[in-house]
Amino acid sequence: MAATTTTTTTTTDTPTRLPNLKDHALIGDAEKIPINTPTPIISISPIILPAPNRIVDLHLKVTVPTTGDSLPIILLSHGHGASNNLSSLNGYGPIANFWAAHGFIVIQPTHLSSKSLGLGSESNTEDPLSWRSRIEDMKFILDRLDEIESSFPFLQGRFDHTRIAVAGHSLGGHTAGMLLGGKLVDPKDNSLVDLSDSRIKAGVLLAAPGNGDDGESVTPMVSRRFGFLASNSLRDMATPTLVVAGDSDVSRHLTTREESWHMDGYYTSPGPKALLTLVGGKHGLGGVSGYDAAEATDDESPERLAVVQRLSWAYLRSVLYPEDEAWEKACKAFEALSAIGKVETK
């Protein structure tokens, strides 16, 4: 008896494929803010700069796009915060990686205030929160750019030493603000401190401390423990700067004022300046300090973060390259997104 063979034909539908995604799937309307095409990035860490006058050598992370020469530079100063790792060169991936993917070289130091070093700088009455050494770290980097650039063959010829910006979040915003022209009175000897640096051509202040107003705008705790903030003044900060603040960032442990304290860099300093105010934004500005960070759980928003990423990128592009219309185009697109925030300029 002959065997019977049964043939079964199965029809498989071709699955629907998503396009190659460049951004987080949840950035919402922020995708309407135009940016250039991203490229892959490479991070080198740690690059160690010998610093004999520092308690420990300066450790850096340098993040660069895989293509391009003579690229603009951003020095990024981390905050203080409660985290063990974000307040170091290992933090701020969401903003550092974005800037690098879109054409910047990002240099991140670990300041002496970082918990990762365990130095207890908060109790250092000579330099509470390492405010002065933080600024000196950034100047040290500027002094040694040639050495950083030559430390790895992949970096050589890729730094544009004439187009340098500084950015900082929270306490890092204070560091950046001083380099951009802010001043204060040193509590140790009542001397006026001006550590501005003309090599820096633009800045971004992310949830930065505002003016101290001789202690009127800060809490008694701040005046007692961190007196440098009691006299902090951004009124002479003349370098072009984008100030980024959340309209719900009320830092009651730091200031006697409301969220406008974090906007002083815009309202009280001379132009040219720009202010990005984020609706519903708190101190994390959507999550600039790290991915899925516990310190931003009440503030994390891929959409809000994407707004900060894109508008800060566009601002720095147009300040460092005046012929670049990135900022103008970004602001025009953002006008239609008033539910997310607003931009003011002067």
CATH number at residue 275: 3.40.50.1820
Examine residue 13 and state whether it is found in any structural domain, yes or no: no
In a domain, 181, yes or no: yes
User: Is residue 12 assigned to a domain?
Assistant: no
Core vs surface per residue 102-130: b (16+ CB within 10 A) or e: bbbbbbbbbbbbbbbbeeebeeeeebbbb
Q: Report the domain count for the chain.
A: 1
> Which residues are within 8 A (CB) of 113 and not within 5 positions of it... i.e. 6 or more apart?
80, 87, 119, 121, 122, 129, 130, 134, 171
Q: pTM higher than 0.95 for the full model? A: no
Q: Is residue 227 part of a domain?
A: yes
Residue 237's domain comprises 37-345
pLDDT of residue 106: 98
The predicted pLDDT at position 2 comes to 43
19 within a domain of the structure (yes/no): no
Residue 206 located in a structural domain: yes
Q: What was the pLDDT predicted at 175? A: 98
**For position 307, what pLDDT does the model report?**
98
Contact present, 195 and 177 (Cβ < 8 Å): no
Q: Which residue numbers in the chain have pLDDT < 70?
A: 1-14, 19, 21, 120-126
Q: Quick one: pLDDT at residue 16? A: 75
Question: 189 in a domain, yes or no?
Answer: yes
The verdict on residue 14 lying in a domain is no
| CA gap 76, 108 in Å, rounded | 5
